[in-house]
Amino acid sequence: MEVLIKNCRIVDETKDIQGDIYIKDGRIVEYGQSIHIDCKTIDATNLVAMPSFIDMHVHFREPGYTYKEDIYTGSMAALKGGYTFVNLMANTDPVCSGMEIVEYVLGRAKELDLIDIHQTVSVTKDFDGKTLDHLHTLDERVKFISDDGKGVQSNLTMFKALLIARDRDLTVIAHEEDEEIVDIDTRLSENIMTMRDIYLSGLTGARLHLAHVSTKESIEEIRKAKKEGIRVTCEVTPHHIALYDNDYRVNPPIREREDVRALVQGIVDGTVDVIATDHAPHSEEDKEKGAPGISGLETAFSLVYTNLVKRGSISLNRLSQLMSASPGKLMGLNKGRIKKGYDGDIVLIDLDKKIIIDKESFISKGKNTPFNGVEVYGEIIATIRRGQVKYNGGVNIDNR
């Protein structure tokens, strides 16, 4: 199978050029100017071609909570948002604490053939906060472990988990929340656990990835840790960049203006590695009952492009690095760059298109967003996975 993307602006973490992209058998074979091949052709005039996005932090709710989302609707929402790879969290029902649920999720993804998926396994069995034996049963398909949604409360358990992760070449994704403190001070709750886990990562030599960092203090601790050579990486969400002093229910909460400035500075200076959505779809009833989270896959790019690139904080190259190259590297994928031999996963974007976010147009079952009615720039026109157009929002294709 062959496809030629013509007349686009080609942007990834290292390049910004005008030209064409030729994909054959699912891989990028060539890119540059004046490529002429008789095959299926996509006219990308006035569009930007970037590596499709990779999300390190997503909840698809299957199995157990499919009234909120399922692997099909989540995958379709991902494609509409420009994503072809997502990393799913373990807070399903039953909790993903072993290969049985991993097998189910990966099998479902293969059957649907829409996007690629990694399924994270819980740090502690069934989120019980103490049992780690199941970590010794995981095979090489599992790269991340996380008790996201709860966090590992016990110092000893986290220390032991990091030792196991180091020895088994796993990365711990940490949800930083001290449950004894959070109802008193959410900022202290996040900061104290961030400092604990950075210290334990340095002590054990394990890889630590900090999820949805939201405070200026945490960003500063991460910056220090990186300078000391500790194996820590981190992510921030679009909603923690775009909002401040807002009471929309998310966990961690929306912070203050100073925190947003600190997050953006962390993005500018390289402290922040990844932008991840923490896509957390809920039913309207669950949201009314106080369930925290945002349905974020379909709005992520336009929000961060508008708030970071349009405002001059970072370049489009840096945004591509945050949304594609860096998560691809951290996950060991052959994705995230427009480079010969890489997977032909491309997103076509109209950067000049002004759009009004409309939650009723979401493909996701979750319509929970604080951005309904917000004006942003940058519309996803098409999402291509291994040379196949999986989402088409209006691109012209000549099938020859």
Secondary structure (DSSP) of 182-250:
TTT-HHHHHHHHHHHHHHHHHHHT-EEEE-S---HHHHHHHHHHHHTT--EEEEE-HHHHH--S-----
Task: Report pLDDT for 65.
Answer: 97
Q: What domains does the chain contain, in order, with CATH numbers?
A: 2-50+344-398 (2.30.40.10), 52-330 (3.20.20.140)
Residues catalogued as catalytic: 278
Element holding 103 (H helix, E strand): helix 99-112
**Positive or negative CA dihedral for 119, 74, 343, 270?**
negative
How far is residue 90's CA from residue 137's CA, in Å, rounded to a whole number? Answer: 16
Percent of residues in the chain assigned helix, strand, coil, to nearest 5: 30, 25, 45
Q: Look up residue 185 and give its two tokens.
A: 């001070």
Q: Is this structure's pTM higher than 0.95?
A: yes
pLDDT of residue 396: 85
Measured CA to CA, the distance from residue 261 to residue 215 in angstroms comes to 10
In the prediction, which pLDDT does 81 show?
A: 98
Instruction: Provide the residue-wise pLDDT of the chain in tens; the chain has 400 residues.
Output: 899 999 999 999 999 999 999 999 999 999 999 999 999 999 999 999 999 999 999 999 999 999 999 999 999 999 999 999 999 999 999 999 999 999 999 999 999 999 999 999 999 999 999 999 999 999 999 999 999 999 999 999 999 999 999 999 999 999 999 999 999 999 999 999 999 999 999 999 999 999 999 999 999 999 999 999 999 999 999 999 999 999 999 999 999 999 999 999 999 999 999 999 999 999 999 999 999 999 999 999 999 999 999 999 999 999 999 999 999 999 999 999 999 999 999 999 999 999 999 999 999 999 999 999 999 999 999 999 999 999 999 888 888 7
The whole-angstrom distance between residue 142's C-alpha and the CA centroid of its chain comes to 17
CA distance 42 to 142: 36
CA torsion, points 52, 358, 234, 346, in degrees to nearest 10?
0
